[in-house]
Amino acid sequence: MTINVQNFIQDFRDLYLKSPQCGSWTRASENCDYGDITTVSKDCYMCFNSGNCREAYYCEDSRELKDCVDCAFCEACELCYECVDCNNCYGSNYCQDCVNSEDVHFSYDLKRCRHCIGCVGLRDKEYYLFNKSCTPEEFKQALSTLDISNPLIVEKVDKKVEELKRKVPRMYVHQFDTENCTGDYITHSKNCHRCFDTRHTEDSGYIYQANLDKGTNDSWDCGPIPTGMDLCYDIAYSHYLFNCKHLYWCGNLKDCQYCTNCFESENLFGCHYIQRKQKGFYILNQQVEEDYYRKTTRAITDLLRRKRIYTLHDLLNKDLSAPTPEISDSQLERKCVLCGEVFELTENERKFYKEMDILYPIYCPECRAMQRFRLRNERKMYKRTCGSCKNTLITTYPPESPFIVYCLDCYWKHMG
């Protein structure tokens, strides 16, 4: 079998369209049909990228929620509504950045508090109204008039809290157990450059939404939800990788580049929808000899450089007839070709690019992250038929989307 190097980009795109996509990644869950990437959950509705939840509705990027509605980036909460970045809270509404608290409402940055309304920055307090101590009776009275179904009341309380938020000092970043990190919402990490919503990450940069248990090391431009990665670049929605570049929706790979929907393999280049259990060398889903693989992937890499392909998103979508400006490698402060924002290449980043044989980026970190985010569908649900078993799917793929979409069972059953 021979690979037509000159035709690689088109062949890669054609193969992508011919390869099945998974209609819904909800697994090990019961009665959670509406939503996506919901795992080990029960009776949830319209939850995305969430796990270990029970009776959660419209919750995103959260874990271990029970009886919660409209929460995002929350963990281990119960009976909460409209909360963001809360951890281990109970019976609370409209709260942000609250931890180990109960019966707190319209509050910001509370730790170990109970029975508070409209409070900001308190620690170990109970019975407080707008940062002032009150009696249990006064609290009860205030709570009984706090009708959250009335938008006028919500607006009034919000306004008062906003004023308080301006007066109470807050921490300049949300970091916990970190060393030498820039970015926000980082825990248990070291030497991170501009990472967000990341935990257990070391010596890495521009890692976004790495909010699962296993960490990321020596990697740049990964996320959303990368987990267990070493020496990786330009990765979205994938897990357990070593020395991989430009992947989307992959897992347990080593030494792979430009792949989607690939699992348990090594030495894949430009492949879609395969699971090889680590045997052989593959280009465009075709098995080749090792020598041929090395030579041909080098030639394809050179071609992609000449065609100014920087990311997996470029390889899938870039209009090749449109000219791309040339920026010299010595230019470290550069203007993003997509949004015009000025960004800088740090020394660590350059070292990584050199070691990993990656072109210096011409898109800013935010645009690169946006490209990875856009590989997935919008968080909207549609009815569609499984391309194989014809069962009805509730999926983020709109009926008119051109892809072959399978249910989870068929997706795994037919994978080569």
Give bridge partners of residue 341 from the DSSP assignment: none
How many C-beta atoms lie closer than 10 Å to residue 38's C-beta?
28
* Closest separation in Å from C-beta 217 to Zn ion: 26
Closer CB to Zn ion, 293 or 411, in the complex = 411
Closer CB to Zn ion, 133 or 391, in the complex = 391
Determine contact, residues 19/260, Cβ cutoff 8 Å: yes
What is the distance between the alpha carbons of residues 264 and 26, in angstroms, rounded to a whole number? 20
* Closest separation in Å from C-beta 400 to Zn ion: 20
How many C-beta atoms lie closer than 10 Å to residue 416's C-beta?
12
Closer CB to Zn ion, 176 or 412, in the complex = 412
Closer CB to Zn ion, 179 or 409, in the complex = 409
Instruction: Give contact residues for Zn ion (rule: CB under 5 A).
Output: 336, 338-339, 341, 364, 367, 386, 388-389, 407, 410
Closer CB to Zn ion, 171 or 339, in the complex = 339
* Closest separation in Å from C-beta 311 to Zn ion: 12
| Distance between start and end Cα atoms, the chain | 18
What is the distance between the alpha carbons of residues 243 and 222, in angstroms, rounded to a whole number? 12
* Closest separation in Å from C-beta 358 to Zn ion: 18
What is the distance between the alpha carbons of residues 403 and 116, in angstroms, rounded to a whole number? 50
- Return left, alpha or beta for 131; rule: phi > 0 is left, psi -120 to 50 is alpha, else beta: left
Take residue 396 and report the two structure tokens written for it.
């983020």
What is the distance between the alpha carbons of residues 58 and 35, in angstroms, rounded to a whole number? 8
**235 membership: H or E segment, kind and range:** strand 226-236
Determine contact, residues 61/197, Cβ cutoff 8 Å: yes
Closer CB to Zn ion, 332 or 336, in the complex = 336
One-letter amino acid at 28 equals A
* Closest separation in Å from C-beta 110 to Zn ion: 36
Closer CB to Zn ion, 23 or 51, in the complex = 23
Determine contact, residues 199/207, Cβ cutoff 8 Å: no
Determine contact, residues 201/186, Cβ cutoff 8 Å: yes
* Closest separation in Å from C-beta 287 to Zn ion: 27
**252 membership: H or E segment, kind and range:** strand 251-254
* Closest separation in Å from C-beta 363 to Zn ion: 5
Take residue 135 and report the two structure tokens written for it.
């009696």
* Closest separation in Å from C-beta 338 to Zn ion: 5
Q: Please give the torsion angle defined by the CA atoms of residues 72, 75, 77 and 80, in that order, rounded to the nearest 10 degrees.
A: -10
Closer CB to Zn ion, 110 or 364, in the complex = 364
What is the distance between the alpha carbons of residues 371 and 103, in angstroms, rounded to a whole number? 40
Take residue 311 and report the two structure tokens written for it.
């990311």
* Closest separation in Å from C-beta 141 to Zn ion: 51
Closer CB to Zn ion, 323 or 340, in the complex = 340
What one-character-per-residue DSSP string does 237-250 give? SEEEEEEEEEEES-
What is the distance between the alpha carbons of residues 71 and 82, in angstroms, rounded to a whole number? 5
Q: What is the CA radius of gyration of the chain?
A: 24
Closer CB to Zn ion, 182 or 388, in the complex = 388
Query: Angle of helix 8-18 relative to helix 290-306, nearest 10 degrees?
Result: 100
Closer CB to Zn ion, 22 or 119, in the complex = 22
